[in-house]
Amino acid sequence: MGVVLLAGCGASRAPESVAPPIDARCHNANALRQPFFGDLHVHTKYSLDANTQGTIIGPHDAYRFALGERIGIQPYDDNGEPTRHTQIARPLDFAAVTDHAELFGETEICTNPDYLEYNAPECILYRNFPDQSFIAFNLAAVGLPELPQFPVPAGIPLVSDAPIIGSNGSVPRMAYCGPGGQTCLEAAKTPWQDVQLAAEAYYDRSDDCRFTTFVGYEWTGAPLSNNLHRNVIFRTGVVPPIPPAYQEYPRPELLWQALDAQCRAQDGCDVLTIPHNSNLSAGTMFETKDRFGNDYTQAFAQKRQDHEPLAEIYQHKGQSECLGTQGAGAQDELCGFELLPYNNLTGNRFGGANTGPPMEQDFLREALKEGLRQEQLLGANPFKYGFIGSSDTHIGTPGNVVESTFMGHAGAGQNPRDSVPGMTDVIEVSPGGLAVLWAEENTRDALFAAMRRREAYATSGTRPVVRFFGGWDLPADQCGRNDFAAVGYARGVPMGGDLSSVPSAAARPRFAVSALRDPGAPGEPVEPLQRIQIIKGWYVNGEKKERVFEVAGDPANGASVDLTTCQTSGSGFASLCTVWEDPDFDPAVPAFWYARVVENPSCRWSTRQCLAAGIDCSNPDAVPAEWADCCNADYPKTIQERAWTSPIWYRPASAPTR
């Protein structure tokens, strides 16, 4: 377990110095910061894949849902009335609609008869054969353009960057988009303006600060269906007139260049990008070469770090924390949580012909370790990621991430346009998670600053409150004090931060981690906490290493689930807190640490739905085909909900800085 310094309830002390006063707008602002729960990955009718799957919910509806309003969703009956309704028991604190920018204009034209091109052959196909269009439009726009790509000598562009693919390296748009794609680019302004209007309409600018919205979109690069997607989040309402999309900027570095040019600080614009689903990138998300096949430089690595402080570690399409197939990671049984069985967005389409098994290099724990290696080589860490979760809903329902009420999210999952005959989604997916930001108040500026400094954590859908501090002289009794957070800020750094230089050769870092269980809500059963772990990664003598430390709670507490009723039993904890000192610290070795907070087991969403449907797997022949996956032994019946904090990093004073 390592060295654990558990603090009991000690005598009250005078609080340590706190964070400096803030220029607050909100009446409930707190200089020591507070957790805000939200969803930064939401698709509505403006995303082509959602649109072809029957989603008619727009950005305004999505924000009303996030605020707790009940809405109707597909399938719709012959009168256009929804046959299903959904609602979250607890409103979110913030959200961003992040529709796919690549086909904004194409979708707008094919669904709006005011456009002359509405009757183009591609649009007729779109309206009459939406399932085929879902695949054809996506592959043509973001999946197939790099089919002929191959590495070539330095300085010579890849084939996909050459004019035979598109002028100036761009990806040609549909024929009905006209020369240079201008018709579709102009049409893209309509949904983009509505996204902005909705964000402004639902942003609470009063001193109540009940709800914050961000203008955002998704950059949807997926060469050969290998996921390179980024959610693009703007701090203010000052944004580019057309969102930079994959067709015009078909590499992440080209996206960053476009954002640098079109989102300028002097104009009041600020932006960051958040990669997601690295688990489905087939080895491409964390490559260490640029689009010309050249190794990263220090400047390139720093540019990536500056643009991307966060990554989405969990969502509808599984977790991207760890695969656990090699080295010390193979001993981490919790890496099996919500693990998709394929390595790109094709999934099980086409009989698995365009995919393969998951790859270790696509997971964030491995990327964090590779980042340490790159920093040793270059002096900059391109993979210095904090963590968030989100839903990736494609039916316009942000925060709809509760196992017991999961309605499906469409997108890469089940298409609910015409019917939902069995489970509400395909068995391998999940309801997704939430992003949690520690900020002084619920405003765009404060939340965006939290994202920038990585003071963020992800959850798998529940709402535990987790704090994580690191420092050289955190007190052993910090958990027993009434100024836990003040001490953490005064004597250390919070999640997402960097430890200062080691004060002495004998010093070891201490980490204070505190977790409060999710209090739950009506219709949202939640479980007690089971344990807290600290995961350490380091790079030494040319090897990437990791270790999982059990630091609080009890992994063998006997908690269990009755699979015939989903009734849970066993002990657990309402709160856990500890101060832990790394017993293996070497001041000459770069490292990171993050906390993983694990709840007692509970029924997975699929188990709940199969029980509700009365499915009996003891008689397989009697199980209807649409419920066959209830008896699929490849997927677990239970899960353990969890939270992942952003890491804290240590860099030796002797590390290169060139």
pLDDT in tens, 44-74: 999 999 999 999 999 999 999 999 999 999 9
Task: Using the structure block, give the residue that is written with the tokens 């990138």.
Answer: 281
The packing angle between helices 364-378 and 298-307, to 10°, is 140
Let me know: does 110 contact 116? Beta carbons within 8 Å: no
Q: Residue 607 to residues 96, 297, 447: CA-CA distances in angstroms?
A: 30, 49, 36
Which of the four pLDDT bands, split at 50, 70 and 90, describes residue 297?
very high
* Rounded distance between C-alpha atoms, residue 578 and residue 423, angstroms: 41
Distance (Å, whole) CA 355 – CA 345? 8
Span 614-653, pLDDT tens digits:
999 999 899 999 999 999 999 999 999 999 999 999 999 8
Inform me whether the pLDDT recorded for 533 exceeds 80.
yes
User: Would you say residue 409 has pLDDT above 80?
Assistant: yes
φ, ψ dihedrals at 375, nearest 5° = -65, -35
Please state at what angle helix 189-202 crosses helix 59-66, rounded to 10 degrees: 30
177-197 pLDDT per residue, tens: 999 899 999 999 999 999 999
**Is 607 a residue whose pLDDT tops 60?**
yes
Beta bridge partners of 310: 386
Query: Does 164 have pLDDT greater than 50?
Result: no
Q: Identify the burial level of 206 via C-beta atoms within 10 angstroms of its C-beta, where 0-12 means exposed, 13-18 middle and 19 or more buried.
A: exposed
CA dist 331 to 3, 325, 328, 543, 634, Å? 20, 8, 6, 18, 20
Q: How many angstroms from the chain centroid is the CA of residue 591?
A: 23
d(Cα 638, Cα 628) in Å, to the nearest integer? 18
Question: For residue range 95-146, what is the model confidence (pLDDT) as tens digits?
Answer: 999 999 999 999 999 999 999 999 999 999 999 999 999 888 877 776 554 4
434 versus 151: the higher-pLDDT residue is 434
Is the per-residue pLDDT at 328 higher than 80? Answer: no
Q: How far apart are CA 452 and CA 305, in angstroms?
A: 10
